[in-house]
Chains A and B, each alone.
Chain A
Amino acid sequence: MFRAIVLKNLVRQRVRTSLTALGIAIGIATVLALGVITSGLKASLGEFVTAGGADFMVAQKGASDLSFSAVPEETVAALARRDDVARADGFELKITTLGSNPYFILYGFEADALGAQGLELREGELPAAADEIALGVDAAASNALAAGDTVVFEHRTFRVSGVYEVADTLRRSGGVALLATVQELGNRPGVVTAAYVTVAPGEDPVAVAEAIERDLPTLAAIADVDDYGEVDQGVRIMDAVNLAISLLAVGIGAIGVMNTMIMSVFERTREIGILRAVGWRGSRIVRMVLLESLALCGIAAVVGIALGLLATRAVLAIPTVSSFLVPSYAPEVFIRALAVGVVVALIGAAYPAVRAVRLSPMEALRHE
């Protein structure tokens, strides 16, 4: 019955309760949608970092964006010569336009490294000439291209030599060409964006990565997405934006809940006086106010999660977004959204609850 009292209190002011819940729901939806998208993006980056079975990737330390990273080809060659390294495959990235996708990523590898990238050909062959590219299955499908067709990048015509399948999202929706071709398209001769490193048998990848960073201080070794921020500030910015929006959602939501709960407690001052007069302890009054707030935010969380999932689907319906992003519905994303609801409920109810319990029963009973 305690729960019934709590729910009846909420239902009394239906419009106010609904509008407050909707406000919080929008905040939770934003946090959820952002969480699903950013964790999806991070998952894609995680796959990219160790693509083709490499132990880690090396790139220019402190680059604001990976596409600005420049590692001299001699450095990659020096890495490949190290005793503790089995392979070091330098690659160049070029972000260009393919059809309606302005974020098509073209990867350039040396011919002998292309075969080691875990690309499974579905049709045709890997590029062997300067005017050839192979497309990932998603890129080929979304642009209705097949082996033998031609595409134009940067005013140059290329023949699609083949279509490949690969585990990571970014390369499935991208393409590969010879290193020199991509360097020429980007006007970056003699440098690569980064290199995939596979350590020699028996070597510890962590120790090798540390040794490389020590020997070549301009390089950063990236073994997972958490290290990615060292070569791309975008990830850090994304995390910061995510945190800022979560905090904003909590702040705005808490003010909304506090306003609603203060009004609710004020309107029921006399009733709270009655409850105190019939013997309810202060802690029970606090529990009642907190539960009301939690119930309000619980409803908001359910609606917010539903809205967030709808928003995510709407964003992913944009072809350019779906080309590089697979949403990640990781449990922590939902936990974070629910945590926003709980924190909002507790912060929003704290002051009204204290106010309710501080009223003397007599003062409350005199309230009109």
Chain B
Amino acid sequence: MSEPVISVRGVRKSFEDGRIVALRGMDLEVAEGEFVALVGPSGCGKSTLLHLIAALDRPDEGAIRVAGRALEEANDLSAHRAHEVGLIFQLHNLMPALTASENVQVPMFELGLPGRERRERAHALLAAVGLEGRERNRPPQLSGGERQRVAVARALANEPPILLADEPTGSLDSEAGATVLDLIERLRRERGLTVVLVTHDTGVAARADRIVTMLDGHVVGSSPNDRSAAAPTTRLAASTRVTP
């Protein structure tokens, strides 16, 4: 097997001076191009793990390597966030004062692209997520699903090899959620992305290549996903089933 694109070894993370332990010796490997769903009950450490892989926070112990780079040795984690990973949150987290196009351009500042190229790239990304013609709309002028699609476009703005999605459909209705999941799957196929997706919804997880189940801060199960056998457990999953 080639070197995993994400490698998490013995990672511990606690909050509030150790009173809340989120991860207890977590291990995980994700291969390049793989689509992994992290599932488990609330508080099991799924989002914390995703945030550590995104370098939004540092672990108390353990090692995380992403795209061959040891995060604990990196001085500048901004570069990792700008170039290696694209993040999608449960809430879209767009800048309300900026237009859809400007929101997508925000990460591109770190690439040093000229304004015209930034605008063209944002236009293409918004077209790819089905929002052509909505470039000048600000988030309050978009529906929940449209906002989340802008967030997907923003996550891909710098063409990262890894997409990290934290409950990306959690705040959407079934139809909007289905659209966003279809979009992530399509973009993953087209761009060869590695995807790590956190979800509560086993139906949503059923779309992944592998489902990693977490409990109390560590992995309790990891199994390849048999898509043909997986039965949708929710209305969202049922409505979003795609034919391979």
Contacts and interface: CB of A to CB of B under 8 A. Distances in A.
B partners with A: yes
Interface residues of A, number: 24
Contact of B98 (A5, A276, A361): A5
Contacts of B109: 2, 280, 284
Contacts of B110: 279-281, 284
A271 B81 CA distance: 16
Contacts of A4: 98, 102
Interface string B147-162: 0000000100110000
Contact of B107 (A1, A8, A279): A279
Interface stretch (B49-57, B186-194, B209-217, B220-228): B49-57
A277 B118 contact: no
Contact of B118 (A1, A284, A360): A1
A47 B94 CA distance: 64
8 shortest A-B CB distances, which residue pairs?
A: A279-B82, A278-B107, A279-B81, A362-B57, A8-B97, A281-B78, A361-B56, A362-B56
Given A9-B97, A279-B81, A281-B78, 17 more contacts: A1-B115, A1-B118, A5-B106, A11-B97, A276-B78, A277-B56, A277-B81, A277-B93, A278-B82, A278-B106, A279-B107, A280-B106, A280-B107, A280-B110, A282-B78, A360-B57, A362-B51
A279 B115 contact: no
Contacts, number: 70
B57 A278 contact: no
Contacts of A11: 97
Interface of A: 1-2, 4-5, 8-9, 11-12, 270-271, 274-282, 284, 360-362, 365
B102 A280 contact: no
A133 B106 CA distance: 77
Contacts of A9: 97
Nearest to A8: B97
Contacts of B105: 1
Q: How large is the interface on B (under 10, 10 to 19, 20 to 34, 35 or more residues)?
A: 20 to 34
6 contacts: A276-B78, A277-B81, A278-B154, A279-B82, A362-B56, A365-B89
B79 A279 contact: yes
A280 B95 CA distance: 14
Contact of A278 (B51, B81, B98): B81
A270 B78 CA distance: 17
Contacts of A279: 78-79, 81-83, 107, 110, 158
A3 B107 CA distance: 15
Contacts of A277: 54, 56, 81, 87, 93
A282 B78 CA distance: 8
Interface string B105-117: 1110110000100
A362 B115 CA distance: 29
A279 B74 CA distance: 14
Nearest to B84: A279
Contacts of A282: 78
B108 to A, nearest CB: 9
Interface in B67-126: 76, 78-79, 81-83, 87, 89, 93-95, 97-98, 102, 105-107, 109-110, 115, 118
Contacts of A280: 78, 82, 106-107, 109-110
A3 to B, nearest CB: 10
A2 B57 CA distance: 26
Contacts of B78: 276, 279-282
B136 to A, nearest CB: 13
B102 A5 contact: yes
